[in-house]
Chain A
């Protein structure tokens, strides 16, 4: 009697060679059928052809060191142009020896954005980060900041008012007294200031030389327009969205009219309006900085779009949340700020980031009213007659910078969508 080999000792056969490993992968993903195979071959040929042409142009025959445009001509890409002009492209006409200031301003803003991307910071820390970050950014860019007394009084009034609305029921008597004191000081001070009793006194912080906004240019301008465009448009978009959902007919009508009007016209028409019509709207003699005008136009525009995104979040909340908040006896600000918005905003964070990517790209339109954002300084770098004739290099470089910003933001939005949905995903 021959001993049968124990079952456990039998070696399983290796899978067929053409179904595993790189070969199997290629067979499955590239050559699964005749049509697929032909597509693959054609595409590989096309990719190789384009890539070899591009590498030849951008790398092998490119000139990285030429001193003038004339030396560059005839070969491949002229990256020497970028080497020559990159400081202008990044910082515009900011005084040359002071370029460290916009550089650090950009770093501050990026740090601000990266820190705000961390979910552990989504509380009071966010306010601190943005307060400190904005102060440092504008101090670096302007060089000098004057904080007028009326602004301080206004902040006291607003802070006290917000505290009273939100924490009137929760706060200890001493805390509540503090809010009353803030409101009182702010209100009385502002009235006295308007009546002219208090002097137009201001705190001056002036460690650096003053640089006016017309000299700003390049990346800091793009970042400021996009970041502060969103930062200011956000609360105002929230108000518009709440107004649109309100059951007070006049408020609702105003908000719907405004949102639809802004969304129906192109940003360019708003920018042109800001540059030619705003001077007409204001009392004669007042001039507003061109940069500020563009910023206001971007904020107005962004607000309408953000309002629609937030409305989506508000609509996604079940009715029970509103009713439960009413049943708890919360007033409208408490209900909105403590119950509704925290839930609604959580839903719309990923689409809000996508909106932000859109604005980051749309800020490039300000070049039409003559502001030197990143795209405009890149454009101006082409004007130099010594370096004329290399538009492809400059635009590809600018496109690359924009791509890095937008692509990383869109990845972050994908990651957040994944993170925030952990609770509801099975």
Chain B
């Protein structure tokens, strides 16, 4: 008898209200029930209110004519376009600011972060004060300041400040600069650029493999850059080197020709980049400080040059510390670009806000905003997680 029960734990009689499993389920059902009840209450109120206000729910309004002007568009748009197109214009504008902001603030932030660690006392002090000044003041205030400075302190087009021998003009209507005249060769140059990037990537793989097997290093940075820049340049030369430029010229009250960066876009981008790079600088600095001093000493003892030890030994290790917090900064840039609405840059939130005011379709529009930001955020974090996994320390 006793032998049979020895193998399994003795069954203890537990009252159902003391059984952790049953308790857990009861608790969960109660909480989910409460949340469900709250949701039902809100939804039923909403349906009631919508019926009362005679708002038809659904996304049909997206096909109607938008009827509002958008100042800064990347694709063809007119007030006769649909709401869907207006929102798409907003999404593209948000993405444009986010992508440029991420690129520029990474570069500036890295420079400032490395500058803070400089042996030069003055440089490190200036970088430290830069970080403190931008981190401790709201981004919105910086945006207002830059926007007001551009639109009020810069002269009008007639007295525009000209830079670089009358080719770039700064005025309160934006920054004007020359662009090459459209030419069929540009499309081919784009193709050549993509081919160059693919070629450089293949070359990099080959060079890495060769160095691992034979120890022979290959000057991959200069060759890669040469391919990426050289191929489009060759195509340009082969196409007869078209060099006609469209120059900005004062005609009447404004400039004609060339292209313009709107003041709203400039203020938003400058504000976002200066603000975020202060945070990026701190991340880069702590990433570098996290490395043990022995790493750089060991690299020097192996006979690596300063550049090589940075590129092959220090940076790959610092990146492991840097990448996760950097991901959240990239997400912040994307989300903070929604402050555009305050200075009148037509980003996603601004377009949707006008749409809400005109159609009254609050729920559908808020859903669009949330879906758009969530998908951008999730794709950025998916990419950064993939990158993080790639550079992560591989232990046994």
- Chain A: residues with CB nearer than 8 A to chain B? 29-30, 32, 36, 39-40, 43-44, 47, 248-251, 254, 261, 263-269, 272-273, 276-277, 279-284, 357, 361-362, 364-365, 367-368, 375, 379, 382, 389, 391-392, 395-396, 398-399, 402-403, 406-407, 410
Contact = CB atoms under 8 A, between A and B. Distances in A.
Interface stretch (B161-169, B251-259, B363-371, B382-390): B363-371
A43 B129 CA distance: 14
B35 to A, nearest CB: 6
Contact of B140 (A249, A263, A364, A403): A364
B208 to A, nearest CB: 32
B104 interface: no
Contact of A268 (B46, B341, B378): B341
B366 A269 contact: yes
Contacts of A263: 377
Contacts of B46: 280-281
A387 to B, nearest CB: 13
B99 interface: no
B121 A29 contact: yes
A91 B120 CA distance: 44
Interface stretch (B219-227, B240-248, B331-339): B331-339
B341 A368 contact: yes
A266 B373 contact: yes
A402 B137 contact: yes
B45 A283 contact: yes
Nearest to A275: B362
Interface in B307-355: 331, 335-336, 338-339, 341-342, 349, 353
Interface of B: 24, 27-29, 31-32, 35, 42, 45-46, 48-50, 52, 119-123, 126, 132-133, 135-142, 144-145, 148-149, 152-153, 331, 335-336, 338-339, 341-342, 349, 353, 356, 362-363, 366, 369-370, 373-374, 377-378
Given A266-B349, A266-B373, A280-B50, A29 B137 contact: no
B144 A254 contact: no
Contacts of A379: 144
12 contacts: A47-B122, A250-B29, A265-B374, A268-B341, A276-B356, A280-B45, A284-B49, A361-B138, A392-B149, A395-B141, A395-B148, A403-B137
Given A399-B145, A407-B132, A29 B140 contact: no
Contacts of B120: 29-30, 32, 36, 39-40, 43
A206 B349 CA distance: 43
A267 B363 CA distance: 17
A402 B136 contact: yes
Given A264-B377, A391-B148, A403-B133, 12 more contacts: A263-B377, A265-B370, A276-B356, A277-B366, A280-B50, A284-B48, A361-B139, A364-B140, A375-B144, A379-B144, A392-B153, A410-B136
B144 A251 contact: no
A220 to B, nearest CB: 17
Contacts, number: 151
B79 to A, nearest CB: 23
Contact of A269 (B32, B342, B373): B373
At the interface, is chain B mostly helix, strand, loop or mixed? helix
Contacts of B142: 399
Contacts of A251: 27-28, 31
Given A375-B141, A402-B137, A273 B366 contact: yes
* Top 8 A-B residue pairs of the complex, sorted by shortest distance between their CB atoms: A391-B148, A406-B136, A29-B121, A266-B335, A361-B138, A266-B338, A364-B138, A395-B145
Nearest to A31: B120
Contacts of A402: 136-138, 141
Contacts of A395: 141, 144-145, 148
A261 B338 CA distance: 16
A254 B27 contact: no
Contacts of B374: 261, 264-265
Contacts of B362: 276-277, 280
B90 to A, nearest CB: 13
Given A364-B138, A375-B140, A407-B136, A43 B123 contact: yes
Nearest to B353: A272
B17 to A, nearest CB: 13
A391 B136 contact: no
B152 A389 contact: yes
Contact of A280 (B35, B138, B363): B363
Contacts of B138: 361-362, 364, 375, 402
Contacts of A365: 140, 339
Contacts of B49: 279-280, 284
Nearest to B20: A332
Contacts of B353: 272
Contact of A281 (B42, B121, B122): B42
A276 B49 CA distance: 13
Contacts of B126: 43, 47
A296 to B, nearest CB: 13
A371 B144 CA distance: 17
A263 B380 CA distance: 13
Contacts of A36: 119-120
Contacts of A44: 122
Contacts of A399: 137, 141-142, 145
- Among A44, A357, A391, A407, the one with the most B-chain Cβ atoms within 10 Å of its Cβ is A391
Contact of B369 (A47, A265, A279, A280): A265
Nearest to A254: B35
B130 to A, nearest CB: 12
Nearest to B136: A406
A266 B336 contact: yes
Contacts of B356: 272, 276
Given A281-B42, A399-B145, A43 B349 contact: no
B54 to A, nearest CB: 13
Contact of A250 (B31, B45, B336): B31
A269 B149 contact: no
Contact of A254 (B32, B42, B336): B32
A110 B254 CA distance: 51
Nearest to B342: A368
A357 B341 CA distance: 23
A40 B373 contact: no
Contacts of B335: 265-267
A44 to B, nearest CB: 7
B47 to A, nearest CB: 9
Nearest to B275: A361
A403 to B, nearest CB: 5
Contacts of B140: 364-365, 367, 375
Contacts of A266: 335-336, 338, 349, 373
Contact of B145 (A40, A268, A392): A392
B350 to A, nearest CB: 10
A281 B45 contact: yes
Contact of B349 (A269, A284, A398, A410): A269
B136 A364 contact: no
Contact of A264 (B32, B45, B373): B373
Contacts of B339: 268, 365
Contacts of B133: 403
- Among A47, A357, A364, the one with the most B-chain Cβ atoms within 10 Å of its Cβ is A364
Nearest to A35: B120
